[in-house]
Amino acid sequence: MDISQAIALNSTPSAVGELRRSTVLRLPAELRLHPILEEFDFLTAEELNISAELKELAIPEPIIITPDGTILAGFGAWTLAKSAQNAVVQCVEYAIGEEEILPFILHYHQPRHTWNAFVRISIALRLKFDLHQRALDNMRTGGKCKGLTNLSKADRMHVRYKIAKIAGTGTGNVNKVETILDRAHPNIIFALQNGLLSIHQAWKWCELSKTEQKEEFARHEEKRTRRKILRDLSIGKSRMSLDPLRVIEALQHRENQQPGSIIVRASRNSGTIVILGEDLLKAIAAPKEILFG
């Protein structure tokens, strides 16, 4: 992400302009995360990098707070201010109620890649009970459901739609994340929070036991690591055509000349991949009499 994108992402949503605000000076220690956000490892290195880049350009990231010091935006700037032991920080204070805090935070951060869909939905789902109660209260006020404690299927779908809208995603993913949070292995949830796994893939594994999920995730990670190694080593881009028999001969010769120099690792995956160092590649490319001479 370049700096112009970072600045654009820090633009305040249009809805913010309708709220009463003021500029205040606060001690970093006086500010705090919303209790629900403390459960998520959402403050990534990218979040801090954006704030640091803006600071270098003398365009400070705004720290947006509520009157009680709950941080709505500018988490990276707040973290940097604490690390630098700044005496005070300038904040933009908005007068919003407790029930508006999470929707505000999620709406503001929807464009940021640092807040992936799984994290946003997981946070938005914490509003499910309140939205459910609000829908019931509205129906009771209208005289439609005196004494009713459960919503109809259509009303439950409307609550799910509201959660999806707050999270900036589709209702299908809301259903999947609910299932994941209820059934998934902790390793899978951690991977989802850090963007290492897709919601759909994790949801498919939820049909398995947690032990089986852990095994499937381990295989998935092994494949992902292997693909990364291949990309880093540019194996797929190599134009060198290698004769497998010549490679085997070269490996045997190298091991005879330098015992222990060839490292072999086992994999649970099918198929075999041989990764050669630059020195052995050059040797294989040389005439055969030089290689084995």
Q: Are strands 21-26 and 63-65 parallel, antiparallel or unpaired?
A: unpaired
pLDDT tens, residue by residue, 100-156:
898 888 888 776 666 789 988 998 998 887 777 776 766 666 555 555 556 666 677
Give 17's contacts (C-beta < 8 A, 6+ positions apart): none
Q: Per-residue b/e over 75-86, b at no fewer than 16 CB within 10 Å?
A: bbbbbbbeeeee
Cα(196)–Cα(219) distance, integer angstroms = 13
* Neighbour count for residue 209 (Cβ, 10 Å): 11
- Point out which residues pair with 91 in neighbouring strands: 24, 63
pLDDT tens, residue by residue, 136-149:
766 666 555 555 55
DSSP string for residues in 211-255: HHHHHHHHHHHHHHHHHHHHHHTTGGG------HHHHHHHHHHHH
**Helices 186-193 and 117-124 sit at what angle, rounded to 10 degrees?**
110
* Neighbour count for residue 148 (Cβ, 10 Å): 11
pLDDT tens, residue by residue, 157-190:
778 888 898 888 888 999 999 999 999 999 999 8
- Point out which residues pair with 25 in neighbouring strands: 90
pLDDT tens, residue by residue, 239-281:
556 777 877 888 888 878 888 777 777 666 556 667 777 777 7
- Point out which residues pair with 235 in neighbouring strands: none
Of the ranges 21-25, 32-36, 208-212, 222-226, the best mean pLDDT one: 208-212
pLDDT tens, residue by residue, 23-35:
899 998 899 888 8
3-class SS at 208? Answer: coil
DSSP string for residues in 132-166: HHHHHHHHHHTTS-TT--S--HHHHHHHHHHHHHH
pTM: 0.64
Q: Per-residue b/e over 240-279, b at no fewer than 16 CB within 10 Å?
A: eeeeeeeeeebbeebeeeeeeeeeeeeeeeeeeeeebeee
At residue 276, φ and ψ (nearest 5 deg) are: -105, 140
